[in-house]
Amino acid sequence: MKGGIIMDIKEVRKVAKERMKGYCRVCPVCNGVACAGEVPGMGGSETGASFKSNVEDLGKIKLRLKTIHDAKDPNMKFEFWGEELDFPVLVAPITGSAFNMGGALTEREYIDSVVRGGSLSSGTIAMIGDSADLTMYEDGIDALKAVGGKGVPIIKPRENSHVIENVKSRSNKLHSSGHGYRWSRISYHGTKGATCRTKDRRGIEGSSIFH
């Protein structure tokens, strides 16, 4: 961890149970079983099958343990869009603090803590989520703008015309920050037949084909 407060995991879980009561049970293993169908909330929709299947598949990935070795300074760094991160893990996009997490934090407080405190201070970046309430998406964009665009905005499936307008307006907003639009890319999964091109401050172009 790059600075910040070192917290005891037992205390973290205790506080989380209090603040997220009725929205998340803070299970020992977050596998989507106890909260299946609890939407709004932290569960998967309907049967929660996708949530549970994803956890099961991740559980199939094993690390080969080698107890005796001479590796004293392991290096997990990797390059992501031309930038170096300390390890190959990005924070998932979640929005809706009020209706998914109980509202102990405002949307801006939550996303700021994720983007700046939980991600950048640890050597990685966060993705910001989308919502039917566009003010929540704006909170995420503002959080990225505050850190020089270091993150990945996600857009939910919408009409292509709305998606393209969102990409253009959010890209312009990130460009307007003092640091420029260095890392941020717009990620979208939705209807077929539209392509959006973006360019970062270094002049490197990228494209997204909407499938």
pLDDT, tens digit (0-9, with 9 covering 90-100), for 41-60:
999 999 999 999 999 999 99
What pTM did the predictor assign? Answer: 0.74
pLDDT at 196: 46
Pair (48, 81) in one structural domain: no
Instruction: Judge whether 71 lies within some domain.
Output: no
pLDDT, tens digit (0-9, with 9 covering 90-100), for 170-187:
777 666 655 444 445 555
Pair (32, 125) in one structural domain: no
User: Higher model confidence: residue 195 or residue 148?
Assistant: 148
Instruction: Judge whether 72 lies within some domain.
Output: no
Pair (190, 119) in one structural domain: yes
pLDDT at 44: 92
Instruction: Judge whether 68 lies within some domain.
Output: no
User: Higher model confidence: residue 69 or residue 123?
Assistant: 123
Cβ neighbours for 91, distance < 8 A, ≥ 6 positions apart: 114, 118, 119, 124, 125, 126, 127
Residue at a domain's end among 11, 29, 60 = 60
Pair (131, 187) in one structural domain: yes
pLDDT at 166: 76
Domain span holding position 42:
1-60
Handedness of CA 182, 204, 152, 83 (dihedral sign): negative
Pair (127, 41) in one structural domain: no
The stretch 177-198 carries a mean pLDDT of 48
Handedness of CA 23, 61, 88, 189 (dihedral sign): negative
Instruction: Judge whether 151 lies within some domain.
Output: yes
Pair (179, 111) in one structural domain: yes
Pair (101, 147) in one structural domain: yes
The SS3 assignment for 95 reads coil
Q: Which two tokens stand for residue 208?
A: 């997204």
Say how many domains are in the chain: 2
pLDDT at 117: 85
Question: In the chain, what is the straight-line distance between the N-terminal and C-terminal CA atoms, in Å?
Answer: 38
Residue at a domain's end among 31, 60, 89 = 60
Handedness of CA 17, 19, 21, 23 (dihedral sign): negative
Handedness of CA 117, 120, 123, 128 (dihedral sign): positive
Pair (96, 127) in one structural domain: yes
Question: In the predicted model, is pLDDT for residue 134 greater than 50?
Answer: yes
Instruction: Judge whether 52 lies within some domain.
Output: yes
Pair (112, 194) in one structural domain: yes
